[in-house]
């Protein structure tokens, strides 16, 4: 009997110990769960704030990554224009062109103009380069280092929707082309063959046109365009000239001497430049005059010969008598 009581007592103690353990673990679980809830929502203790900050930071980072991926997936066309004033036009233009080539781009257009004023010269112009999109900003930075940037602008155009639309239209047209080719192979009459062939040609033309447009857009997206306008500084306007009558005698004399020298030198240069032409023109003129003279000499000789007999007859018989004198001489004989 006593042993049975002891056994029951031991079993009772074990049951009580088990119940107490279950109760403690439940309380601990509730306490731990409450602590976690406080960390996530209220942040009552000191350790809750870092947990919340970390969660916010992770959310922000993931949002930035998603935004970056979305921006990278967009098809953006970028065109830029920069006006820069430099000391030497050629040096800057060559540097920009070299930068474009080394970055995988090329020069699409360029122009240069020479200006003169008060005996001074300076250049202005532009150079248009196309560089890969990832090299656009580094190229801009290089241009800024060449001189003083007077103005700068960049325009962007999102053509993602256009490319998606073109791709969808191309997919539909290609499927239609494949169906037409199948119908063409299964056609039984000449009329049906001609009709399918005409429609197939029209579909193929549309495909080629859309593919060319898509390639053009992709090329403009892959290569950004930058127009760099380069200006050398224009010379300062000269001081107001002194009126002629207020100049000193020495300056007036020296100015006249300079004018005489310039005029004389101009005449000499003009004569030297015209001398070969004078020689070329003198040869036919002299030859023509000699030819005319050689032709006129025989005519003069014939004229002299035709006039010489008359003079010889007149010399032998004396001066010729006119008709009136002959009648006067004959009249006395008639009276006699």
Pair 155, 206 in one domain? no
Pair 137, 150 in one domain? yes
Does residue 14 lie in a domain region?
no
Calculate the CA 58 to chain-centre distance: 47
Residues 6+ apart with CB under 8 A from 78: 133, 136, 154, 155, 156, 224, 225
Pair 107, 151 in one domain? yes
Q: What is the pLDDT of residue 293?
A: 81
Does residue 99 lie in a domain region?
yes
Residue 200: give the domain boundaries. Answer: 161-219
Give the CA-trace dihedral at 138, 144, 146, 150, to 10 degrees.
Answer: 150
Pair 172, 152 in one domain? no
Collapse the DSSP code of 151 into the 3-class scheme (helix H, G, I; strand E, B; otherwise coil) and give the result: strand
Q: What is the pLDDT of residue 275?
A: 85
Q: H or E segment at 250? A: helix 249-317
Pair 79, 123 in one domain? yes
Q: Would you state the structure tokens that stand for residue 11, as one six-digit string?
A: 């079993």
Does residue 100 lie in a domain region?
yes
Pair 153, 96 in one domain? yes
Does residue 298 lie in a domain region?
no
CATH number of the domain to which 102 belongs? 3.30.70
Q: What is the pLDDT of residue 118?
A: 76
Q: By the 8 A CB rule, do 99 and 142 touch?
A: yes
Q: What is the pLDDT of residue 133?
A: 94
CA–CA dist 246, 326 (Å, integer): 93
pTM over 0.75: no
Does residue 241 lie in a domain region?
no
> How many CB atoms sit inside 10 A of residue 223's CB?
20
CA–CA dist 268, 181 (Å, integer): 83
How many domains in the chain? 2
Q: By the 8 A CB rule, do 170 and 210 touch?
A: yes
Pair 202, 180 in one domain? yes
Residues 6+ apart with CB under 8 A from 79: 154, 155, 156, 157, 224, 225, 226, 227
**Which of the listed residues 187, 209, 231 is the one where a domain comes to its end?**
231
Q: Would you state the structure tokens that stand for residue 27, as one six-digit string?
A: 């309380």
Q: What is the pLDDT of residue 162?
A: 94
The 8-class DSSP code of residue 85 comes to E
The tens-digit pLDDT sequence of the chain (336 residues) is 444 455 445 445 545 544 444 444 444 444 444 444 334 444 444 444 444 445 444 555 555 555 445 556 789 999 999 999 999 999 999 999 999 999 999 999 999 999 988 778 999 999 999 999 999 999 999 999 999 999 999 999 999 999 999 999 999 999 999 999 999 888 888 888 999 999 999 999 999 999 999 999 999 999 999 999 999 998 876 656 667 667 777 777 888 889 899 999 999 999 888 888 888 888 888 888 888 888 776 655 555 555 555 544 444 444 455 445 554 455 444 443
Pair 176, 207 in one domain? yes
CA–CA dist 325, 330 (Å, integer): 9
Does residue 191 lie in a domain region?
yes
Pair 151, 186 in one domain? no
**Which of the listed residues 195, 210, 231 is the one where a domain comes to its end?**
231
The 8-class DSSP code of residue 61 comes to H
Q: H or E segment at 121? A: strand 120-132
CA–CA dist 82, 79 (Å, integer): 10
CA–CA dist 120, 236 (Å, integer): 10
Does residue 173 lie in a domain region?
yes
CA–CA dist 231, 146 (Å, integer): 11
Q: Which long-range contacts does 285-289 make (Cβ < 8 Å, 24+ apart)?
A: none
């Amino acid at each position: 009997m006593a042993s049975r009581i002891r056994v029951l007592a031991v079993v009772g103690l074990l049951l009580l110990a088990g119940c107490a353990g279950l109760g403690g673990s439940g309380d601990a679980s509730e306490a731990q769960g409450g602590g976690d809830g406080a960390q996530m929502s209220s942040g009552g203790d000191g350790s809750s704030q870092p947990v919340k900050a970390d969660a916010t930071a992770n959310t922000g980072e993931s949002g930035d990554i998603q935004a970056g991926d979305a921006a990278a997936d967009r098809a953006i066309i970028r065109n830029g224009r920069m006006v820069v004033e430099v000391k030497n036009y050629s040096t800057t233009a060559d540097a920009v062109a070299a930068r474009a080539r080394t970055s995988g781009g090329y020069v699409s257009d360029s122009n240069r103009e020479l200006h003169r004023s008060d005996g001074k010269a300076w250049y202005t112009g532009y150079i248009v380069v196309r560089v890969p999109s990832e090299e656009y900003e580094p190229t801009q930075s290089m241009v800024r280092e060449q001189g003083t940037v007077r103005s700068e602008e960049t325009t962007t155009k999102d053509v993602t929707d256009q490319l998606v639309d073109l791709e969808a239209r191309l997919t539909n047209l290609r499927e239609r082309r494949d169906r037409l080719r199948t119908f063409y192979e299964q056609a039984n009459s000449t009329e049906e063959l001609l009709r399918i062939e005409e429609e197939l040609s029209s579909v193929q033309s549309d495909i080629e046109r859309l593919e060319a447009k898509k390639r053009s857009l992709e090329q403009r997206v892959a290569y950004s365009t930058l127009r760099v306008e380069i200006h050398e500084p224009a010379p300062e306007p000269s001081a107001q000239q002194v009126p002629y009558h207020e100049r000193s005698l020495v300056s007036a004399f020296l100015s006249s001497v300079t004018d005489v020298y310039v005029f004389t030198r101009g005449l000499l240069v003009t004569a030297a430049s015209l001398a070969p032409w004078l020689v070329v023109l003198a040869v036919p003129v002299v030859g023509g005059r000699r030819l005319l003279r050689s032709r006129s000499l025989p005519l003069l000789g014939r004229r002299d010969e035709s006039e010489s007999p008359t003079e010889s007859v007149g010399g032998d018989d004396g001066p010729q008598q006119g008709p009136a004198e002959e009648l006067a001489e004959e009249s006395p004989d008639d009276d006699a």
